[in-house]
Structure 1
Amino acid sequence: MKPHLAAAALSLAAVLMTGAVSAQATADEPMDPPRAGKALRDRDFGVATRQFGLERQVEMYQWRAGADGYTRVWHTAPIDSSSFPAGHENPKRVPLEQRRWWSQDATLDGRPIDLQVLQTLGQWRVFRPNFSRLPANLAASFQPEGDGLGSAENPLDPQVGDLRIQWRELHLPSLEGKVELRDGRWQLTPAAAAQALTAARASAVVELPPGQDRKLLPWLLAGAAALALAALTWRRMRRRAH
Structure 2
Amino acid sequence: MKWRRAAFALSLSCVLSATAAFAQTGVDDAPMDAPKPGKALRDRDFGVSTRQFGLERRVEMYQWRADGDGYTRVWHSVPIDSKGFDAQHRNPSKLPLEGRRWWAQDATLDGRVIDPAVLRTLGQWRVFRPNFSRLPANLAASFQPEGDGLGSAENPLDPQVGDLRIHWRELHLPPLDDKVELRGDRWQLTPAAAAQALSAERASTVVELAQDQDRQLLPWLLGAAAILVGVGLLWRRLRRRRVAH
Q: Same fold (TM over 0.5)?
A: yes
Kindly indicate whether the alpha-carbon contact (under 8 Å) linking 2:15 and 2:222 is maintained by their aligned counterparts in 1.
no
1:202, CA displacement in angstroms?
A: 1.5
2:147 match? 146
Q: State whether residues 148 and 166 of structure 1, in contact with CA within 8 Å, keep that contact through their aligned partners in structure 2.
A: yes
Residue 31 of structure 1: SS of its match in structure 2?
A: coil
Query: 2 CA distance for matches of 1:84 and 1:9?
Result: 54
Q: Which has the higher helix share?
A: 2
Alignment of 1:202-221 (within 5 A): 202-206=203-207, 208=208, 215-218=212-215
3-state DSSP of counterpart to 1:132: helix
How many Å separate the matches in 2 of 1:213 and 1:197? 24
Local SS of the residue matching 2:66:
strand
* Percent identical residues: 66
| Counterpart residue number, 1:95 | 96
Residue aligning to 1:155: 156
Task: After TM superposition, give the deviation of residue 16 of structure 1 in Å.
Answer: 1.6
Partner of 1:72: 73
Residues 67/34 of structure 1: CA separation in 2 closer, same or farther (3 Å cut): same
Rg: which structure is higher? Answer: 2
CA, structure 1 residues 43+167, in 2 after alignment: closer, same or farther (shift >3 Å)? same
**Mapped contact 1:9–1:221 kept (Cα < 8 A):** no
Equivalent positions of 1:190-205 (< 5 A) are: 190-205=191-206
Shift of 1:112: 0.4
Contact 2:23-2:191 at 8 Å conserved across structures = no
Number of the residue aligned with 2:85:
84
* Superposition deviation, residue 21 in structure 1: 4.4
Decide which moves more: 64-73 or 92-101.
64-73
**TM-score, with normalisation over the residues of structure 2?**
0.84
Moved more, 64-73 or 114-123: 64-73
Q: Secondary structure at the match of 1:168?
A: strand
CA RMSD of aligned residues (A): 2.7
CA drift at 1:204 = 2.6
Contact 2:144 2:150 in 1 (8 A): yes
TM-score in terms of structure 1 length: 0.85
Rounded Cα–Cα distance in structure 2 between residues aligned with 1:122 and 1:14: 26
| CA shift for structure 1 position 54 | 0.4
Change over 3 Å in CA distance of 1:199–1:229 after alignment to 2: farther
**What is the CA-CA distance between 1:232 and the residue it aligns to?**
3.9
Alignment partner of 1:125: what SS?
strand
Change in Cα spacing, 1:15 to 1:184, as seen in structure 2 (3 Å) is same
Residue deviations 1:187-242 (CA, integer Å, cap 9, x gap): 00111111111111222324x4xxx5774545676666566555544544554266
CA distance in 2: counterparts of 1:223 and 1:147, whole angstroms? 53
Q: Does 1:117 align with 2:118?
A: yes
Which residue identity is paired with 1:141? Answer: S
- Give distance in 2, aligned partners of 1:112 and 1:222: 41
| Residue ranges of structure 2 left out of the alignment (5+ in a row) | none
Correspondence for 1:38: 39
- Opposite residue 63 of structure 2, the aligned amino acid is Q
Q: Given that residues 17 and 191 in structure 1 are in contact (C-alpha distance below 8 angstroms), is that contact kept between their aligned partners in structure 2?
A: no
